[in-house]
Amino acid sequence: MEVKIAPSILSADFGRLNENIAEVSPYCEMIHVDVMDGHFVPNISFGAPVIKWIKTDLPLNTHLMIENPDKYIDDFVKAGSDRIIVHVEACEDLKAVLQQIKDAGVECGVSLKPATPVSEIKDVLEMIDEVLIMTVEPGFGGQEFMEEMVPKIKELRDFGFAGDVGVDGGINAETAKICREAGANLLIAGSYIFKSEDLEKAVASLRG
């Protein structure tokens, strides 16, 4: 399966956001956008009014780390999201939220916090484009990769899930290799890419 790289702009320079995105875009397949509300996770990032100003030809994957995501889906679609990923832990009726995203005309995905097992989402796998496995506790960039999350990747593939299996948190050349070998095809990386001296080389090293 072709490996896709999505830089997480959480580690970009927000004062030069579009420049940072333009610099990295030639080497990547998607842009990963982290929305945090200070409730679902202990940090606040940005919302739809900021995303609306992002200029890129790459698909925008919006990772919603917020409570009550159903209330904000339309805002994120209007802001330019091509795929919206919600946390299973934040949805009372996950199927309904996913259907809402699909009805709004964009792709959908589900993310799992480290403590949440894959079994929680088995009955929605056929309706989603991506499973995003958190390989750190969501909330901050620059944390250490949790290797004990790797079996979740294999579990999803063994179950026959053919969509994107993404990993998010602590991804670098070494941990990317572990994830690819387990069956992940979408690698999200924030600090590893944006803190590197050579963007092209950093992204290439994630592909192996």
Q: How far is CA 166 from the centre of its chain?
A: 7
Q: Residues binding ligand DX5: what is the number (CB under 6 A)?
A: 21
Confirm whether 74 is a catalytic residue.
Answer: no
Reading the block at residue 187, the tokens are 């690698």
Q: How far is CA 28 from the centre of its chain?
A: 14
Confirm whether 164 is a catalytic residue.
Answer: no
What is the smallest separation between the CB atom of 39 and ligand DX5, expressed in angstroms?
14
**Residue 107 within binding range of Zn ion, rule CB under 5 A:** no
Q: Single out the segment in contact with ligand DX5 by CB under 6 A; choices: 48-56, 96-104, 156-164, 190-198.
A: 190-198
What is the smallest separation between the CB atom of 195 and ligand DX5, expressed in angstroms?
8
Closest CA to 108 of 43, 166, 190: 166
E strands present in the chain = 4-7, 31-36, 60-65, 83-87, 107-112, 130-134, 164-168, 186-189
Reading the block at residue 175, the tokens are 């941990």
Dihedral sign for Cα atoms in the order 44, 172, 192, 144: positive
| Given 20, 24, 29, 34, the residue binding ligand DX5 (CB under 6 A) | 34
Bridge partners (DSSP) listed for residue 35? 64
As a whole number of angstroms, the distance between CA 61 and CA 163 comes to 14
Binding mask 80-119 for ligand DX5 (x = CB under 6 A): ----------------------------------------
DSSP state for residue 164 in the 8-state scheme: E
Distances (CA, A) of 99 to 11, 104, 110: 31, 8, 12
User: Toward ligand DX5, which CB reaches closer, 79 or 160?
Assistant: 79
**Residue 37 within binding range of Zn ion, rule CB under 5 A:** no
User: Toward ligand DX5, which CB reaches closer, 14 or 159?
Assistant: 14
**Residue 42 within binding range of ligand DX5, rule CB under 6 A:** no
**Residue 138 within binding range of ligand DX5, rule CB under 6 A:** yes
**Residue 4 within binding range of Zn ion, rule CB under 5 A:** no
Residues binding Zn ion (CB under 5 A): 34, 63, 168
Residues binding ligand DX5 (CB under 6 A): 8, 10-11, 32, 34, 63, 136, 138-139, 141-143, 168-171, 188-192
Which residues does the annotation mark as catalytic?
34, 168
